[in-house]
Structure formats: structure tokens, C-alpha cells
């Protein structure tokens, strides 16, 4: 009986060709859908592509008319490009990696109007941070209200004290185990007796030094290993000291944080301090938080790199990562050229080595953008990933003599406060690592003229008039500290204008309330004077480590090799 079915082979080939053809016809749509889905998720608003051109020989893709809506203003595009064209390296594609030698973005426009809303259903988390600021007032509260509020409050200070106690207790336990005198003595005794045995043999016959050379080497190795572990203990001691010192600092700052938390329940936050931060901050801080979210998402990817990451279809399961000899990132754009012009503003830019996962690129990623028109602006971003756990990103940016026409200054419940004229100069500089951020932006607006909404309160009208009479206003935005909980603040020389505007009586009332809340918190928290319970222990442990090392050094000095 024949076991071969030749028409079956023909059917297989025809099926294969048909599948390739179907893929070729559907691929542009699939690429467009993928870009729209991933882009929308990243931007937080609709990303749309009109059509995609796909060429197989050589493999290249062109995205025609790509638009990304502004998540904060859905009837406007954040970005629009006429054409994005790039060719893909076929060889690396065989390894499931996309390498683009040059990507050209032309016809770039920003802030263009949309005919339909670009909002995503449900919106994006950070969008919710751009809130309308309610009016400033001091509520009428009694001593009982304050007492009840503080009693009910889950005070941060108490939590931090508890955490500190736990840390101190754990550290003490760890050190008691690590510096177990008996165990160490047993190990030293063993080394000492081995040394004595070898020394005795050497004394009997000098030639034994040659015979026992391997034993001497082993002894040296053992002593070195023991000293290495002692050195590691020394490092741990420093780290533990640092940890305790940070936690004590955090506990001491606790009452201040608690005060802010309780005061914000009365709608007063920092009291009458930081009004610029309260009112103008929401215009700027969401962008910083979004940038930080982006960095954190990379950090998350690096954390799970070697473990399971992707969840695909039900049957496929989780992906397990193995060492990849093809050291390319999943996606790499070696060079990117950007050109565009919109409403008298021209944009040109270049980018190098942009990709995902960035630590596999091997070279720093760079993006340079130049805007010219109503002034000039330069943005220079450089990001260097030495490894998955080490990143240094630098931002330097300057805006010079940029004429303002309609820039949102702040938002209150009555509507937007717009800067209708003025000249903007700004410097933005920052460093971000995977652990911390140090960013500052200085904005100086000369001859500001505000257009305010109707029905604003008296103090807000006073404030608007005062700002309009200023020669220039200066705002400084800073973001510093740990990446997980950065301190973002907007301060300004016009803080006094805010304070003057709200009036002396209100200020005094707020300060009085703040003082009462502070006293109640201090009463509940108790004495924070004696927090460091391990200061004596640390010196004791340091001494023990040094003594142990001296004993080992003594044996090492006597080893004959």
C-alpha cells in the first residue's frame, strides 16, 4: 500500500501560500491595530493611523497620517504626522527582533484640532490628577472636632515608629546570629589547629613545606574566605546603620506629614503656605508623574526580565526567559529624523538608539528637538542604561523669548486662568536614575496678562490684578527624592501675592487651627527623643568584627607559602 499522498503535499503547499497571501493582505491592518492599541495605552488617549503601506522586498513600512489625541484635551491632537517611514532589518527579524536603521517622521504638527473626541473610555489615571482647585476657606471647627479627627487619624508617625522598632529588633536578631561567638570560635579553632599541625610538620622537616603546599594553600584559602565573610559583615553593618538612620529621620518628619494629612481633611493642606504649589502645581506635576510612570514601567520590566513576564493565550502560558546570545533589544531604532511645521512653529529633531528593552542597546539613547517660530526652544534628552538595574537620564532644555498667546496658568472651579500675552523664558534640567529624581524647571514670564474666568471670588480677582501688574513672574518647579515617592513642588516669588490676596484674617484663622492640630498630634505621638536603641550595639558589633578580623590576620601572617 502506498503511504504517500502526493495531492496532500500539494494541498499543504497551496494552504501555506494561501496563508502567506492572507497575512500579506491583512498585515497592514494588523500593524495599524497594534500601533493604535499600544499607542493609545501609552498616551492615554486615542492613537489612530489612517493606513499602513507594507513592502516585502526590502521589508519596509510606512504609516500614513498618524494622530495621537491629547489626553487632557480630547478634541485636540497632541501629535500628528503626515508620514512615518522605516525599513526593517530582515536578518534580525528572523530572531523575532525589530531593528530599524533609520526612521523618518515628516509633517509633524502639534496641537491640531480633531473632529471627534480622542478620549479613551474610562480615561487615564494620571489625568485624574489634573483637578480643579476648590476655593480657599477655613472651616469652623471646635476643639472636640480636632480631638476626634486626630484620634481617628491613622497617624503616619506611629506607623513609622512601629516599623522602626521592627527593623531594630530584626537587625539585633540578625547580628546576634551572625556574630555567634561560639560558632566563630569553633571555626577559628579549626583553622588554628590546622595551622599548628602544619607548623609542627614544618618544624620537623623543612621539606614538608613542599609536601604540604596544598594544605598550606587550603588553609590560606579558608582564612581568606573567613575574612571575606567578615568584610561582608562590615558592609552590612554600614548598610544597617544607614537604614536605621533613614528610618529615624523619617519618624522625626512624621508629625509634619501627619499635620499636613490632618489639615488637608479640613481642606487646608499646608495651611496658608505653598499656595502657588496648591493652585499652579496641578498644571505641571501630572507631566512629571507621567514621565516617572514611564521610567517605573521600564524598571518593572527589568525586575521581571529573568522570570515570567508575558501572559498570552490560555494554552500558551507564561514566558520563561533564557540567556539570549542575540544581544539586541526587542525593538531598536538606530536613527530617527523628525521634521514638521505648524502655525508658524517649525520643528526639527533627531534621535539615536531608541529602543526597548533599553539596557540591551549598549549605547546611550539620545533625542534632540529644536522648535523655532514664536521664539526658540531646544530639548536634549540623553538616557544611558548601563544595565537593567542602572540608568542615568539627563534632560536639558531651554526656551528663549517665546511669545505666549494662550497658555493655561491655573485652573479653579470657575474655569481656566489663561495667560494671553507675555514672553516665556525657561530652563529645564534634570537627572533621573532608577532610584531617584533631581529635576528643576524655572519659568520666567515677562509682562504677564491674565484672562480669568467670570464669577471668581474676591481674593482671586485681587490675585489676578496683582499678577497683571507684575513686570515678570517666576515659577520654579522641582521634583526631588526617591522615584517611588518624589517631592514635587512649585514655588514662586508670587507666593506673597497669593497670601496678600487671601487676607490677614483668614491667614490667622488657618494658622491658629494648624497650631491646635499640631499640639493634638504631639500629644498622641508622645516623646520621639529616644528612638535609636541600637547606637550602643552598633559600636559593640563593630568592635567584635574588628577583633575577629585581627585574630584571622594573625593566623594569615604566620602562614608559610
Partner 1 sequence: MLTILAKILKALNSEQSPNQLAAAISLAAIIGLTPLFSLHNVLILLVVLWFRVNLTIFLVCWPLFTILGLAIAPLAQSLGADILQTPQLIPMWETFYNTLIGRWSNFYYTGVIGSLMIALVLAVALFPISKILIVNYRGKWLAKFEQYKVVKLLKASKIWQVYQSVSN
Nearer to partner 1, 166 or 318 (CB): 318
Closest approach of partner 1 to the CB of residue 6, in Å:
8
Q: Judged by CB under 8 A, does residue 96 bind partner 1? A: yes
List the one residue from 29, 95, 159, 482 that touches partner 1 (CB under 8 A).
95
Closest approach of partner 1 to the CB of residue 329, in Å:
15
Contact set for partner 1, span 154-213 (CB under 8 A): none
- Closest to 450 in 3D by CA, of 413, 411, 477, 399: 411
Q: Which residues, 6+ apart, have CB-to-CB distance to 137 below 8 Å?
A: 267, 506
Nearer to partner 1, 19 or 232 (CB): 19
Closest approach of partner 1 to the CB of residue 58, in Å:
20
Q: Judged by CB under 8 A, does residue 91 bind partner 1? A: no
Nearer to partner 1, 5 or 471 (CB): 5
Residue 394 in 3-state DSSP? strand
Distance of CA 257 to the CA centre of its chain: 22
Pairwise CA distance, residues 48 & 68, whole Å: 7
Residue 346 in 3-state DSSP? strand
Q: Binding string, 38-77, against partner 1, x = CB under 8 A? A: ----------------------------------------
Report the b/e string of 58-80 with b at 16+ CB within 10 A. eeebbbbebbbbbbbbbebbbbb
Nearer to partner 1, 210 or 320 (CB): 320
List the one residue from 57, 58, 94, 214 that touches partner 1 (CB under 8 A).
94
Nearer to partner 1, 7 or 144 (CB): 7
Closest approach of partner 1 to the CB of residue 225, in Å:
24
Nearer to partner 1, 303 or 324 (CB): 324
Nearer to partner 1, 3 or 210 (CB): 3
**3-state helix/strand/coil string of 350-380:** EEEEEEECHHHCCCCEEEEEEEECCCEEEEE
Q: Binding string, 296-325, against partner 1, x = CB under 8 A? A: ------------x---xxxxxxxxxxxxxx
Whether the Cβ atoms of residue 493 and residue 473 lie closer than 8 Å to each other: yes
From the number of C-beta atoms within 10 Å of its C-beta (0-12, 13-18, 19+), residue 441 rates as buried
Q: How many chain residues are in contact with partner 1, going by CB under 8 A?
A: 29
Pairwise CA distance, residues 138 & 47, whole Å: 44
DSSP states along 463-526: HHHHHHH-SEEEEEEEEEEESSS-EEEEEETTHHHHHHHH-HHHHHHHHHHHHHHHHHHHHHH-
Whether the Cβ atoms of residue 171 and residue 244 lie closer than 8 Å to each other: yes
What angle do the packed helices 275-303 and 495-502 form, to 10 degrees? 130
In this chain, which stretch among 2-10, 100-108, 244-252, 446-454 interacts with partner 1, using CB under 8 A?
2-10
In this chain, which stretch among 91-99, 171-179, 428-436, 520-528 interacts with partner 1, using CB under 8 A?
91-99
Contact set for partner 1, span 6-35 (CB under 8 A): 8-9, 11-12, 15
Nearer to partner 1, 316 or 561 (CB): 316
Nearer to partner 1, 322 or 485 (CB): 322
Task: State the Cα torsion 169-172-177-178 to the nearest 10°.
Answer: 130
Chain contacts with partner 1 (rule: CB under 8 A): 1-5, 8-9, 11-12, 15, 94-96, 308, 312-326
Amino acid at each position: 500500500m502506498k503511504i504517500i499522498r502526493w495531492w496532500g503535499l500539494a494541498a499543504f503547499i497551496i494552504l501555506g501560500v494561501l496563508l502567506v497571501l492572507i497575512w500579506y493582505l491583512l498585515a497592514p491592518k494588523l500593524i495599524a491595530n497594534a500601533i493604535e492599541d499600544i499607542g493609545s495605552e501609552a498616551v492615554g488617549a486615542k492613537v489612530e493611523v489612517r493606513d499602513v503601506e507594507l513592502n516585502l522586498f526590502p521589508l519596509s513600512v510606512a504609516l500614513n497620517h498618524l494622530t495621537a489625541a491629547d489626553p487632557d484635551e480630547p478634541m485636540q491632537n497632541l501629535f500628528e504626522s503626515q508620514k512615518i517611514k522605516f525599513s526593517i532589518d530582515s536578518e534580525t527579524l528572523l530572531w523575532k527582533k525589530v531593528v530599524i536603521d533609520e526612521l523618518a517622521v515628516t509633517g509633524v504638527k502639534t496641537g491640531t484640532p480633531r473632529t471627534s473626541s480622542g478620549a479613551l473610555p474610562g480615561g487615564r489615571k494620571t489625568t485624574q490628577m489634573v483637578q480643579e482647585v476648590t476655593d480657599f476657606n477655613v472651616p469652623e471647627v471646635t476643639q472636640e472636632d480636632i480631638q476626634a479627627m486626630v484620634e481617628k487619624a491613622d497617624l503616619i508617625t506611629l506607623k513609622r515608629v512601629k516599623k522602626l522598632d521592627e527593623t531594630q529588633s530584626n537587625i539585633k536578631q540578625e547580628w546576634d546570629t551572625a556574630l555567634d561567638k561560639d560558632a566563630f570560635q569553633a571555626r577559628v579553632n579549626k583553622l588554628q589547629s590546622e595551622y599548628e599541625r602544619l607548623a609542627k610538620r614544618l618544624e620537623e622537616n623543612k621539606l614538608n613545606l613542599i609536601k604540604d603546599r596544598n594544605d598550606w594553600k587550603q588553609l590560606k584559602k579558608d582564612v581568606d574566605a573567613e575574612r571575606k565573610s567578615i568584610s561582608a559583615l562590615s558592609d552590612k553593618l554600614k548598610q544597617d546603620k544607614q537604614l536605621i538612620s533613614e528610618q529615624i529621620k523619617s519618624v522625626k518628619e512624621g508629625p509634619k506629614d501627619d499635620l499636613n494629612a490632618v489639615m488637608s481633611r479640613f481642606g487646608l493642606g499646608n495651611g496658608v503656605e505653598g499656595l502657588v504649589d496648591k493652585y499652579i502645581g496641578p498644571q505641571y506635576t501630572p507631566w512629571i508623574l507621567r514621565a516617572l510612570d514611564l521610567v517605573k514601567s521600564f524598571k518593572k520590566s527589568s525586575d521581571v526580565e529573568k522570570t515570567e513576564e508575558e501572559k498570552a493565550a490560555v494554552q500558551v502560558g507564561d514566558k520563561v526567559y533564557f540567556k539570549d546570545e542575540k544581544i539586541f533589544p526587542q525593538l531598536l531604532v538606530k536613527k530617527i529624523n523628525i521634521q514638521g511645521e505648524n502655525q508658524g512653529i517649525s520643528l526639527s529633531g533627531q534621535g539615536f538608539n531608541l529602543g526597548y528593552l533599553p539596557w540591551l542597546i549598549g549605547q546611550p539613547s539620545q533625542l534632540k528637538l529644536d522648535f523655532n517660530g514664536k521664539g526658540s526652544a531646544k530639548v536634549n534628552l540623553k538616557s544611558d542604561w548601563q544595565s537593567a538595574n542602572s540608568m542615568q537620564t539627563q534632560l536639558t532644555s531651554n526656551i528663549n523669548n517665546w511669545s505666549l498667546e494662550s497658555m493655561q496658568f491655573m485652573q479653579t472651579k470657575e474655569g481656566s486662568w489663561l495667560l494671553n500675552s507675555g514672553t516665556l523664558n525657561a530652563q529645564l534640567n534634570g537627572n533621573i536614575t532608577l532610584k531617584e529624581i533631581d529635576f528643576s524647571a524655572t519659568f520666567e514670564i515677562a509682562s504677564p496678562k491674565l484672562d480669568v474666568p467670570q464669577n471668581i471670588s474676591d481674593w482671586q480677582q485681587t490675585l489676578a490684578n496683582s499678577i497683571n501688574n507684575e513686570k515678570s513672574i517666576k515659577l520654579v518647579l522641582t521634583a526631588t527624592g526617591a522615584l517611588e515617592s518624589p517631592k514635587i513642588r512649585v514655588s514662586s516669588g508670587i507666593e506673597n501675592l497669593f497670601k496678600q490676596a487671601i487676607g490677614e484674617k483668614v491667614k490667622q484663622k488657618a494658622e491658629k487651627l494648624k497650631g491646635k492640630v499640631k499640639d493634638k498630634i504631639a500629644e498622641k505621638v508622645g516623646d520621639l527623643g529616644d528612638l535609636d536603641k541600637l547606637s550602643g550595639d552598633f559600636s559593640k558589633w563593630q568592635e567584635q568584627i574588628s577583633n575577629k578580623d585581627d585574630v584571622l590576620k594573625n593566623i594569615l601572617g604566620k602562614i608559610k607559602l
